[in-house]
């Protein structure tokens, strides 16, 4: 018996040829070929079978497909319960579209299918849905945007009609009628290939390329589509995307108006969705069991407020050319989102920075508050001075407070206290951290109590146990890994602390992290260059590529000769040697200023007989942002999916492609805060810089949301 991949491949070829598919192998799946498959593979197969049967003029097969789904959910160890419930609901929506002969509902099916799937336009689904639309509406009245039946269910209503008994059982129903000859054609597969997700991705590509007007049109269209299909989290974030595009075009007033629309939309979400309760409540909004969220948790409430605050800070930053407001927007947008650096948003924000930043005061795009936090913890491994560590922690807490992330700022300060005690002892730590205790205790009482107990531990074993408790409590906050700090990890690079809790000096140096944050170069959390010279960036990019490649292969990092580096960087050997000498001198100067641990000349870049990143002292390398390659802004036309040879000799579908005005004079902070408070009628949606918004009644101050990132519900159904 052929495996699930073979069944999928045969079914896909039949659907692509628009012939009635043979669904026998699908409905008979029950053995290892079904139970050992991933849930998404089973969901993809069932949806393809339902669409293919209707598109080929066959009867509904919902009952048989639901039986396959039930067998998998009851018996497969690999079932997670994330894809098949949504697939079953989507098949029900497809049945409703056929029963109502509604191209609009069929377009909604396409929109759900395309969520989080960049390769959807290249799949067989757009063509199959177009063929089905031709059968549903032979006259081709108005395409996917209209309903033949005025009483059909409209998308975005928040409910999905259950299939009729005939459809659910697969009996007593007639086949989809074939189109009559001579009728007008319905829109082709191209219109079914343009979903809300694809439209948004295109809009972001245009925005990243600086095409603000086109980006704004596409993003507005995506926003309307998301609102129509009731993807409320994505719809809420799309307002911020539109604001970014309008600000890029210099339309500050229009961006502010969009911000008001976003505020009203979020307020409507708060009044529409009930609180989430019971099992699975934590993911009821961002990862609903069905196609649409039906409940809202306190964390979801705070997440939507963060979207609104991000938009307000962006508008204020561009209206008043305020670096502080821009930094707060970057922090809210990027905090806790691991994919921010690889997303289009840094390039989009760079367009804003180039347009609105005051001369001589560039706006930082790539280094947000979480990057500051991570670098503060890393710098403790090279014995950063007490003054530098305390100043960094206080500045970081103030920055997070401006963004309204007060709890995160408190946790960052406590992290600094824990690390400071490890380096300089409890007495020196208590001397400076005591002044903040009155502010920390109301917001994070449990974490503060654990930190204080850890600092007073009488033995190393007790300290390790209390540190584990502290680390577990802080996971409720989207904070960087604490165990990368000095001596906190059991296998860390620093030696055990002395009797007074102070780390022993003169021990072997830790292995370093060399990281780029845009143009800023950091070595183990110490800023080497705020704007890295281009020759050094090119050199480190090449050396970093070899370093990472050798690590992935488990090989020794090779030395690159001056000639090879010259060919790959476009610099002469003499210029490369001068670049290396200057870099080493700057590293030594920066480490002498900020740490008590001197850095050797070859600690980062090792020479003789060529150059390489020193594998004995460099642990991690974060490359600079790659140059943006010219790429098509519009997606390719839908086509029959390619096939590739699987490892078992069978053919399988090829993997989907993946990603990827005049200036106003600055106003005083007091005037701007007053203006903000007057323009926001809803108290819970009017955060002023430096103060948090009104929290949801059920939100614990010690459990802030675990990060943001745009569009949390746009994940692929397939």
Of residues 342, 351, 319, the one with CA closest to residue 215: 351
pLDDT tens for 419-434 read: 998 889 888 999 999 9
**Helix, strand, coil fractions of the chain, as percent rounded to 5:** 55, 5, 40
Distance CA 277, CA 280 (A): 8
So what's the pLDDT on residue 628?
A: 60
Any residues with CB less than 8 A from the CB of 459 and at least 6 apart, and which? none
Of residues 182, 315, 179, the one with CA closest to residue 252: 315
Distance CA 516, CA 527 (A): 10
So what's the pLDDT on residue 293?
A: 74
Structure token digits, residue 183: 């009728």
So what's the pLDDT on residue 714?
A: 52
Is 224 buried (19+), middle (13-18) or exposed (0-12) by CB count in 10 A?
Answer: middle
pLDDT tens for 558-612 read: 999 999 999 999 999 999 999 999 999 999 999 999 998 889 999 999 988 899 9
Beta-bridged to residue 622, according to DSSP, are 515
- Do residues 650 and 5 touch, judged by C-beta distance below 8 A? yes
Distance CA 441, CA 418 (A): 16
SS (H, E, C) 482-532: HHHCCCCCCCCCCCCECCCCCECCCCCCCCEEEEEECCEEEECCEEEECCC
So what's the pLDDT on residue 444?
A: 93
Is 394 buried (19+), middle (13-18) or exposed (0-12) by CB count in 10 A?
Answer: middle
Strands 605-607 and 611-613, bridge-based pairing: antiparallel
Any residues with CB less than 8 A from the CB of 623 and at least 6 apart, and which? 516, 540, 541, 544, 545, 548
So what's the pLDDT on residue 136?
A: 82
For residue 607, give the DSSP letter. E
Any residues with CB less than 8 A from the CB of 589 and at least 6 apart, and which? none
Is 683 buried (19+), middle (13-18) or exposed (0-12) by CB count in 10 A?
Answer: exposed
Distance CA 63, CA 167 (A): 7
Distance CA 592, CA 523 (A): 13
So what's the pLDDT on residue 154?
A: 35
| DSSP class per residue in 5-68 | HHHHHHHHHHHHTTS----HHHHT--SHHHHTS-HHHHHHHHHHHHHHHHHTT----HHHHHHH
- For the chain, 718 residues long, the average pLDDT of each consecutive 10-residue run is 82 88 89 89 93 88 92 90 88 93 90 88 91 78 44 34 33 42 47 90 94 95 89 91 96 97 94 73 58 79 92 96 95 89 93 91 90 94 93 96 94 94 89 93 93 84 85 87 71 38 46 93 95 95 95 93 93 94 96 92 90 94 77 53 40 37 38 34 36 31 46 58
């Amino acid at each position: 018996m052929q495996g699930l991949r073979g069944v999928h491949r045969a079914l896909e070829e039949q659907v692509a040829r628009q012939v009635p598919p043979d669904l026998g192998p699908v409905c008979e799946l029950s053995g290892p070929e079904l139970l050992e498959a991933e849930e998404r593979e089973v969901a993809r197969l069932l949806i393809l079978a339902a669409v293919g049967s209707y598109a080929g003029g066959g009867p509904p097969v919902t009952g048989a497909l639901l039986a396959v789904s039930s067998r998998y959910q009851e018996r497969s160890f690999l079932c997670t319960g994330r894809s098949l419930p949504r697939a079953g609901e989507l098949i029900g929506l497809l049945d409703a579209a056929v029963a109502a002969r509604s191209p609009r509902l069929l377009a909604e099916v396409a929109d759900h299918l395309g969520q989080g799937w960049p390769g959807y336009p290249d799949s067989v689904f757009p063509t199959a849905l177009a063929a089905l639309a031709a059968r549903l509406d032979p006259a081709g009245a108005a395409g996917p945007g209209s309903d033949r039946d005025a009483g059909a269910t409209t998308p975005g209503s928040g409910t999905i009609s259950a299939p009729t008994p005939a459809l659910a059982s697969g009996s007593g129903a007639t086949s989809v009628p074939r189109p009559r000859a001579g009728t007008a054609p319905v829109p082709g597969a191209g219109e079914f290939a343009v979903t809300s997700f694809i439209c948004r991705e295109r809009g972001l590509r245009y925005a990243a390329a600086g095409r603000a007007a086109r980006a704004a049109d596409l993003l507005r269209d995506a926003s309307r589509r998301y609102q129509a299909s009731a993807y409320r989290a994505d719809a809420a974030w799309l307002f911020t995307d539109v604001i970014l595009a309008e600000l890029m075009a210099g339309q500050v007033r229009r961006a502010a108006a969009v911000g008001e629309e976003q505020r009203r939309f979020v307020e409507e979400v708060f009044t529409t969705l009930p609180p989430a309760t019971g099992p699975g409540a934590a993911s009821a909004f961002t990862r609903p069991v069905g196609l649409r969220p039906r409940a809202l948790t306190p964390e979801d409430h705070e997440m939507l407020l963060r979207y609104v605050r991000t938009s307000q800070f962006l508008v204020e930053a561009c209206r008043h050319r305020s670096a502080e407001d821009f930094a707060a927007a970057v922090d809210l947008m990027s905090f806790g989102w691991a994919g921010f650096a690889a997303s289009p948003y840094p390039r989009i924000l760079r367009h804003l920075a180039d347009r609105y930043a005051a001369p001589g005061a560039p706006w930082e795009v790539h280094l947000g508050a979480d990057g500051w936090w991570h670098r503060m913890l890393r710098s403790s491994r090279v014995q950063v001075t007490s003054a530098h560590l305390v100043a960094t922690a206080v500045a970081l807490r103030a920055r997070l407070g401006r963004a309204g992330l007060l709890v995160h700022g408190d946790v960052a300060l406590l992290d600094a206290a824990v690390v400071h005690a490890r380096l300089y002892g409890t007495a020196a730590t208590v001397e400076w951290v005591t002044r903040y205790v009155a502010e920390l205790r109301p917001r994070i009482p449990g974490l503060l109590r654990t930190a204080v107990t850890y600092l007073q531990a009488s033995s190393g074993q007790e300290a390790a146990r209390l540190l584990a408790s502290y680390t577990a409590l802080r996971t409720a906050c989207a904070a960087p890994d604490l165990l990368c700090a000095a001596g906190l990890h059991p296998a860390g690079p620093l030696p055990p602390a002395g009797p007074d809790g102070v780390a022993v000096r003169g021990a072997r140096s830790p292995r370093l992290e060399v990281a780029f944050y845009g143009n800023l170069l950091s070595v183990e959390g110490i800023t080497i260059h705020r704007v890295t010279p281009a020759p050094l960036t090119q050199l480190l990019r090449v050396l970093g590529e070899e370093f990472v490649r050798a690590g992935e292969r488990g090989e020794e990092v090779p030395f690159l000769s001056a000639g090879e580096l010259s060919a790959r960087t476009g610099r002469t050997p003499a210029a490369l040697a001068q670049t290396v000498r200057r870099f080493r001198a700057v590293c030594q100067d920066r480490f002498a200023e900020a740490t008590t641990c001197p850095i050797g000349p070859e600690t980062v870049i090792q020479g003789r007989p060529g150059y390489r990143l020193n594998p004995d002292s460099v642990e991690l390398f974060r490359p600079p942002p790659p140059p943006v390659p010219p790429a098509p802004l519009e997606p390719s036309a839908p086509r029959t999916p390619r096939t590739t040879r699987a490892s078992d000799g069978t053919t399988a579908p090829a993997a989907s492609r993946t990603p990827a005005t005049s200036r106003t004079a600055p106003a005083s902070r007091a005037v701007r805060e007053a203006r903000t408070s007057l323009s926001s009628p809803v108290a819970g949606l009017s955060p002023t810089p430096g103060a948090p918004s009104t929290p949801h009644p059920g939100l614990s101050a010690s459990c802030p949301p675990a990060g943001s990132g745009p569009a949390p519900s746009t994940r692929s159904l397939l």
